Structure 1
């Protein structure tokens, strides 16, 4: 059976842990790394910092996504089949829709493990994906040294 596993990534340590887990636990699966560009990130950055010139490491969220995908692709062993994708929208909704539309066998994603008011205020992409996905979801907790 040719399993196809979706690994949503955002450049964080938990996302890297999820990729490492997927490589280890699904040695024969094709992997797709998905970066979701949240358009509100760029908007918020411009609104919060008037005069923002985008001279940081990545000028836009799309550029950051491309850099993250390229960086992670380089960590995958040459004998593994890995694809990358970059989509735009609300992360949880895009992840679930992408998995449903393309017939993935499972999703492996990282979680920051926030609790209390931080989780309430920031939401939990992992929790939303677990609740809405039509395929099995594995959540990999990030380290406490982020």
Structure 2
């Protein structure tokens, strides 16, 4: 597959990362990936299938809307992008998705939707930068 992977979560920084990717990698295939995080705790640990947890179902619906909005924004910018969503731990999913799809580069926003905790980088961006075996561009 190759191309550019842009993790998206609805934050301004993720939107900026997508715009950066479209503007700088217009000849590459761009994939916007949203990760639906599975909640931790007793209920999740005892659920037969984490996807059936009502909270996860609601987040999957939100992910579909977010990705539809992202596709519309890309179209406004005269770009065609792929979108996808996965369930799991964001940094693990981002890195495994990149490896499984032979992604050439990750472009990630410096902070996600939670935006607290770190001065320069969000925890997901920092972990992706530290663990990725391919180039990572952090958009601030």
Q: Which residue of 2 aligns with 1:132?
A: 131
**How many angstroms apart in 2 are the aligned matches of 1:3 and 1:91?**
20
Inter-partner Cα distance in structure 2 for 1:31 and 1:6: 6
Q: Which stretch has the larger CA shift, 103-112 or 2-11?
A: 2-11
Counterpart Cα distance in 2 of 1:30 and 1:9: 16
In the superposition, the TM-score normalised over structure 1's length comes to 0.74
TM-score when scaled to structure 2? 0.77
Q: Which runs of 5+ in 2 are unaligned?
A: 45-53
Further displaced range: 85-94 or 74-83 = 74-83
* Per-residue Cα deviation, 1:87-133 (whole angstroms, up to 9, x for no partner): 00000010000001110110001022867xx239xx60001001111
How far the C-alpha of 1:134 sits from its partner, in A, is 1.5
Match of 1:66 among 64, 67, 70: 64
Question: Per-residue deviation at 1:18?
Answer: 0.3
Aligned to 1:4: 3
Unaligned regions of 5+ residues in structure 1, if any? 45-52, 142-146
Alignment CA distance shift 1:8-1:104 (3 Å): same
Question: Per the alignment, in what secondary structure is the counterpart of residue 18 of structure 1?
Answer: helix
Is 1:110 the counterpart of 2:109 in the alignment?
Answer: yes
Q: How does 1:47-62 map to 2 (within 5 A)?
A: 60-62=58-60
Question: Would you say the 8 A contact 1:9–1:16 is kept in 2?
Answer: yes
Query: Aligned ranges for residues 72-83 of structure 1 at < 5 Å?
Result: 72-77=70-75, 79-83=78-82
d(CA) in 1 for partners of 2:35, 2:63: 7
Query: Residue 135 of structure 1: SS of its match in structure 2?
Result: coil
CA RMSD in angstroms comes to: 2.7
Instruction: Point out the structure with max Rg over C-alpha.
Output: 1
What SS does the corresponding residue of 2:93 show, helix, strand or coil? Answer: helix
Contact 2:2–2:101, Cα closer than 8 Å, also in 1: no
2: CA distance, partners of 1:128 / 1:39: 18
